[in-house]
Amino acid sequence: MRTSRIVGFCGNSWRPAKSRVLVEAVAADLLTRHGLKTDVLDLVDAGCGIAAFTRVGLDDSARAVVEAIEQADGLVIGCPVFQGSYPGLFKHVFDLIEPDVLRNRPVLLTAVGGGLRHSLVVEHQLRPLFGFFEACTVSSAIYASSAEIMPGEPLAPMTATRLANAVEQLASLLGGRQADAA
Ligand SMILES: Cc1cc2nc3c(=O)[nH]c(=O)nc-3n(C[C@H](O)[C@H](O)[C@H](O)COP(=O)(O)O)c2cc1C
């Protein structure tokens, strides 16, 4: 049986980035508890070439990130909250993706904001975006404030519990897809 290709994609455009740390925490949990490897990418990997107006204008680094998202069996999505929503360049990546390629794809949603005021960004912005693509978003999305993510330190217990639940759901959806494909 082919192993699942899981791609983490985070809408941070600089590093270090707490939004990327959260995606990496999901990737670490997928590996330790489910033996599933995740390749984590972000807008820094895509580079400035991602700002091309059309798909044909993408340079190699930007195209590689877009293609990795399209070819993944499952996605772990992350973004910092900008002006109450996802960053514009993050949305631009998905504007370059054909509407039907993410259909039925398991997707775990995460976001990090400066505070808790915009915690529903995962439900009100990210989930509808992947609803457009008819992807299978996992029920538990993960939101953390920047104060709750300290690089090198364990996640706050509530965030860690939510993360474990969300990862469980993603692993189960990925398992179901593999069984369907077999
Ligand atoms: C342009 C900009 C807009 C932001 N807007 C919001 C916002 O509306 N709500 C919020 O909670 N945090 C907002 N923030 C704070 C970031 O979401 C927060 O610092 C987050 O930790 C950044 O994640 P990062 O470490 O991955 O860059 C904003 C930050 C920037 C740079």
**Cβ distance 6 to 175 under 8 Å?**
no
User: What is the structure's pLDDT at 140?
Assistant: 98
Q: Which residues line ligand 1 (CB under 6 A)?
A: 12, 17-19, 80-84, 112-115, 117-118, 146
Bridge partners for 76 per DSSP: 8, 108
User: What is the structure's pLDDT at 33?
Assistant: 96
CA–chain centroid gap for 139, Å, is 14
60-71 helix and 88-95 helix, angle to the nearest 10 degrees: 70
- What is the residue-level pLDDT of the chain in tens, covering all 182 positions? 568 999 999 999 999 999 999 999 999 999 999 999 999 999 999 999 999 999 999 999 999 999 999 999 999 999 999 999 999 999 999 999 999 999 999 999 999 999 999 999 999 999 999 999 999 999 999 999 999 999 889 999 999 999 999 999 999 999 987 777 77
How many domains are there within the chain? 1
Closest protein CA for atom 19 of ligand 1: 114
DSSP H stretches of helix in the chain: 18-34, 43-46, 60-71, 88-95, 121, 127-132, 157-181
In a domain, 163, yes or no: yes
User: What is the structure's pLDDT at 177?
Assistant: 77
Q: Integer distance in angstroms from the first to the last C-alpha of the chain? A: 7
Closest protein CA for atom 28 of ligand 1: 82
Torsion sign, CA atoms 61, 66, 71, 75 = positive
Q: What distance in Å separates the CA atoms of residue 166 and residue 179, rounded to the nearest whole number? A: 20
**What's the whole-model pTM score?**
0.97
Integer-rounded Cα radius of gyration of the chain: 15
Domain span holding position 46: 6-181
| Rounded distance from Cα 8 to ligand 1 centre (Å) | 19
Name the token pair of 149: 């993510």
User: What is the structure's pLDDT at 58?
Assistant: 98
Query: Which residue, among 68, 67, 50, has the nearest Cα to 59 in the 3D structure?
Result: 50
Q: Residue 178, Cβ neighbours under 10 Å: how many?
A: 14
DSSP strand pairing (136-137 vs 106-113): parallel
CA atoms within 13 Å, Cβ hemisphere of 59: 8
| Rounded distance from Cα 117 to ligand 1 centre (Å) | 11
In a domain, 118, yes or no: yes
In a domain, 1, yes or no: no
Ligand 1 atom at minimal distance to the Cα of residue 146: 21
In a domain, 168, yes or no: yes
Cis-peptide into 16, omega within 30 deg = yes
| Rounded distance from Cα 112 to ligand 1 centre (Å) | 7
Q: What is the CATH number of the domain that holds 43?
A: 3.40.50.360
User: What is the structure's pLDDT at 173?
Assistant: 97
User: What is the structure's pLDDT at 179?
Assistant: 76
Name the token pair of 107: 């997707």
User: What is the structure's pLDDT at 2?
Assistant: 67
